[in-house]
A = this chain, B = another copy of it.
Amino acid sequence: MTENSSTPPYAVGIDFGGTSVKPALVQGVRIVKRATPFDPQGHSAEETLRLMEASVRELCAELPGVVPVGIGLPGLVDSENGIVHGLSNVQGWNEIPVSRILSERLKVPVILENDANAMAYGEWLYGAAANTRHAVCVTLGTGVGGGLILDGKLFRGAQLAAGEIGHTSIDLKGPSGPYGNLGCLEMYVGNHHISARALEAYSAAGVSAPARECTPQELDLAARNGCPVALKLWEAVGNELGAAFANIVWILNPDVIVVGGGVAKAGERLFPHIERSLQSRTSVVINRNLRIVPAILGNDAGAIGCAALALSAAGVPCPQ
């Protein structure tokens, strides 16, 4: 491979998900090469660390110089000290000093970041939030996560736990969420909750559901085909997301809210309702220039963001 001064530097970005660890060699917004993904379930932390080490060596085998590594993980991560406190859906990752272990073995800098923060950073640097100062990135999936870029920097908060939009409440007397918060957003718009609501709505309407599970994808298709139950459900979800986003907007007054993840793919059905709800709940001064946009880096946002954060930590900032 050849490099010239206008080529962005290389970094490895590892998207560590609950069922798949995906290492990639990244150059700016481009995925240059992917290593074979593997499942962290059933492996000990040490085994997974060895697999990550081997992947990085494989990805960087032909490259001269030091290639820093960034890892995005689904859980509580001390990104300042490179320690994983615990992962949401993977056992055996309590208080593991991942950065120290891997950087000693690989002789390159290794940084950790919460996965939602890494995705937010990727979307801000190269994606839907590029060229903004204050960006909120929300991921809609089984869980509802988020990351904040404030004043052009990733904002992590006191315990590095900021941006947990899925746990904010839209109804102080609503159903209890995973941490006891009544009416927390995830209980309305998390994948499984959307499916459950759909099945209930079809049953109440005396109409047979379009699919046994009624995933957001199936409901999107049903809505495209004009199914009134599905259309009404997307309207409700858009209204609820708009209510949660309005709270974020009144608190942070961002330039842009980026919406990614599976549920966001129902874009045409969903975004107009979010916009309408948000407009009706905020003042003209703060919503006039606010943009609500779909994420554009897709599944690669995490790896791209991690790689960029690794370079930034190594003193090689990535130009937008």
Which residue in chain B gives the minimum CB-CB distance to A279? B180
Q: Known contacts A76-B285, A179-B281: does B167 contact A255 (CB below 8 Å)?
A: no
Stretch among A8-16, A102-110, A153-161, A213-221 lining the B interface: A153-161
Q: Are A155 and B163 in contact (CB under 8 A)?
A: no
User: Is A212's beta carbon under 8 Å from chain B?
Assistant: no
User: Is A54's beta carbon under 8 Å from chain B?
Assistant: no
The listed residue (B170, B179, B251) touching A172 by CB distance below 8 A is B170
Q: Are B171 and A285 in contact (CB under 8 A)?
A: no
Q: Are A150 and B155 in contact (CB under 8 A)?
A: yes
Q: Are A165 and B253 in contact (CB under 8 A)?
A: no
User: Is A96's beta carbon under 8 Å from chain B?
Assistant: no
- Which residues of the partner chain B approach A58 to less than 8 Å between Cβ atoms? none
Q: Are B286 and A246 in contact (CB under 8 A)?
A: no
- Which residues of the partner chain B approach A183 to less than 8 Å between Cβ atoms? 171
User: Is A63's beta carbon under 8 Å from chain B?
Assistant: no
Q: Are A158 and B285 in contact (CB under 8 A)?
A: no
Which residue in chain B gives the minimum CB-CB distance to A242? B172
A281–B290 alpha-carbon span in the complex (Å): 29
Q: Known contacts A151-B153, A161-B286, A181-B246: does B251 contact A169 (CB below 8 Å)?
A: no
Q: Are B250 and A158 in contact (CB under 8 A)?
A: no
* Distance to closest chain B CB from A249 (angstroms): 9
Q: Known contacts A157-B134, A252-B162: does B173 contact A171 (CB below 8 Å)?
A: yes
- Which residues of the partner chain B approach A30 to less than 8 Å between Cβ atoms? none
User: Is A51's beta carbon under 8 Å from chain B?
Assistant: no
Q: Known contacts A158-B134, A281-B179: does B168 contact A251 (CB below 8 Å)?
A: yes
A179–B288 alpha-carbon span in the complex (Å): 14
Q: Are A133 and B151 in contact (CB under 8 A)?
A: no
* Distance to closest chain B CB from A139 (angstroms): 15
- Which residues of the partner chain B approach A283 to less than 8 Å between Cβ atoms? 161, 167, 179
- Which residues of the partner chain B approach A156 to less than 8 Å between Cβ atoms? 253
The listed residue (B179, B180, B282) touching A181 by CB distance below 8 A is B282
- Which of A169, A240, A251 has the most B CB atoms < 10 Å from its CB? A251
Contact with B along A125-145 (1 / 0, CB 8 A): 000000001100000000000
Q: Are A164 and B285 in contact (CB under 8 A)?
A: no
User: Is A101's beta carbon under 8 Å from chain B?
Assistant: no
Q: Are A161 and B285 in contact (CB under 8 A)?
A: yes
Interface residues of A (CB under 8 A from B): 76, 85, 133-134, 148, 150-151, 153, 155-165, 167-173, 179-183, 239-240, 243, 246-248, 250-255, 280-283, 285-286, 288-290
